[in-house]
Chain A
Amino acid sequence: MPRISRVMTPPHLASRRPSGLRRLVRPALIAGALAVLVAWSADQCKVSLAELAQGAVRGVEVLGFFFPPDWSAMSELLGPALITVLLAAVATPLGVALSLLFGLAAARNLAPAWLRTPARMLIGLERALPEIIILLLLVAALGVGPFPGVIALAIGSIGMLGKLLADAIEEIDARVLESVETVGATRWQVIRHAVIPEVLPSFLANAIFRFEVNIRASVLLGAVGAGGIGFELSKAMSLLEYERAMMAVLVTLALVFGAERISDALRRRVLDGGKLQ
């Protein structure tokens, strides 16, 4: 019997393994190609170290304009800040309701193909479109103001919540759904008594998280025409009222930070409540 003195690469694998320098050729080629690509992109974007250096000096100077923040503007900014929150507060439930329908329609184990395919396509299309583009399209139809913002955010929620819901539904054990069917339940009863109880906690947690995302998006949409604190910020900037702009930034920070804390706490409660003790 031959003695095996050390672990060896099996011959059929050893022949595939390139040796020595050749092992470095491929990684080097890939790294080189990537470097060329990045350099070209930087040139196209007019990235310039000299300008960065100049800009930095100017930046420090400009930063001075922002201080001190204009505290007296705070009371005027609270109204627009409220609009920003309300915009998200209306858009989120609307988006949740739409996502519920889309999610059910897109789940492989519930919906027939004629319904599922268009639902999946719409969800996918929606995810590919940033909210800001939806808003710009809506503004053309509905004019400037918070209302197109609400619609844009509601539609924007479908891409994320609808997809997550459809995935969660597809993960439900098929035998559970089948077992509810065998008592003679209709599909809608299976949804009411098996699907919804199984996915509700995670869906609610996602919806709360989406509320937080929507507040941030609502600030951004405000700047392009939906009103609220984002609009105040962009207005102050274009009027060169930097101290007022700084105040708007501070209010935004407080808003987003607060929303994040509240959303975190709520989500923890929802998920703990749904957990199997």
Chain B
Amino acid sequence: MLTVSALCKKLPDGRPILNNIEFTVRRGEFVGVLGASGAGKSLTLRCILGLTRVDCGRAVLATPDEDFDLTSARGRRLREARRRIGVIFQGFNLVKRLRVLDNVMIGRLGGISPWRSWLYGFTDAEAAEALEALRRVKMDHCAERITGTLSGGEMQRVAIARAIFQRPAMFMADEPIASLDPSNSIAIMKLLAPLARETPVLGVFHQPEMTARFCTRVIAIRQGRIVYDGDPNLSQRQLQDIYGEELDQVLRPAAVPIPSLPELAPAAIEAASAA
């Protein structure tokens, strides 16, 4: 269970960019965070992960054996905490020159000593388990391939396999489908939704129709504040409140009008082909 309380973050000049962010993610939940660009969605996630320092507030991850305050943990304690969170990033932040299987096994690095990772590496049992994680995202046939040769959707599946192999207490996904086409996006969401039943997932998304279809709950952030927390099905009015001016773009990203070109006169075509 993750409990975020009174999280805030200021710019160096004192302007607040996150303001009193509070929410809880419980077992069995798939929580989607929505909001316009620059609203502070990804920043919230980074603060919870300890990648960005907060100015106030706490994010506590409760696991069966221990509780971790992610915002104040440092060094070994922070690594212990991170080990328990499987992060899936927006980009394809995998090591491109490694094999797919090696990238999945990186998920378990927090659990082994640096000596082992330098001198021995992973055991056969761990490799078998990593392959199992790949099978779960239907990528086991690519285990031996060099990661940089995969497509975007394939890499995102590998990133999910890495997070699964990590056996975390929670998953966090930073815009996992932002750079994918619609069919790949749905495929990734279909992988995340059943995961959430075992281990809670907190994900930042851009598409309200995706969160409505797959998430169990939606949190909306506008200008650094939580403006909505509840049912994933949002009305047009609620979306308007969340996105403001940006709403049209969010709802119909593909509907950018293509400027119609004036038809070329036959004479112009002839002139061009003669030249």
Please report A residues at the B interface, Cβ cutoff 8 Å: 173, 175-176, 178-186, 188-189, 192-194, 197-198, 200-201, 274, 276-277
Contacts and interface: CB of A to CB of B under 8 A. Distances in A.
A201 B96 CA distance: 13
Interface string B45-89: 000010100000000000000000000000000011111111101
A160 to B, nearest CB: 23
Interface residues of B, number: 34
B51 A276 contact: no
Nearest to A194: B95
Interface of A is mostly: helix
Given A178-B93, A189-B109, A274-B97, A184 B117 contact: no
A183 B161 CA distance: 13
Interface in B8-63: 49, 51
B49 A277 contact: no
Contacts of B106: 180, 183, 185, 193-194
Contacts of B102: 193, 197
Interface of B is mostly: helix
Interface string B118-158: 10000000000000000000000000001011000000000
Nearest to A193: B106
Nearest to A198: B97
Contact of A179 (B87, B110, B114, B149): B87
A184 B91 CA distance: 19
A128 B71 CA distance: 46
A180 B185 CA distance: 24
B176 interface: no
Given A192-B117, A193-B117, A183 B83 contact: yes
B129 to A, nearest CB: 15
B95 A197 contact: yes
A115 B130 CA distance: 37
Given A182-B82, A182-B85, A193-B109, A173 B97 contact: no
Given A192-B117, A276-B148, A185 B87 contact: no
B94 A188 contact: no
A24 to B, nearest CB: 38
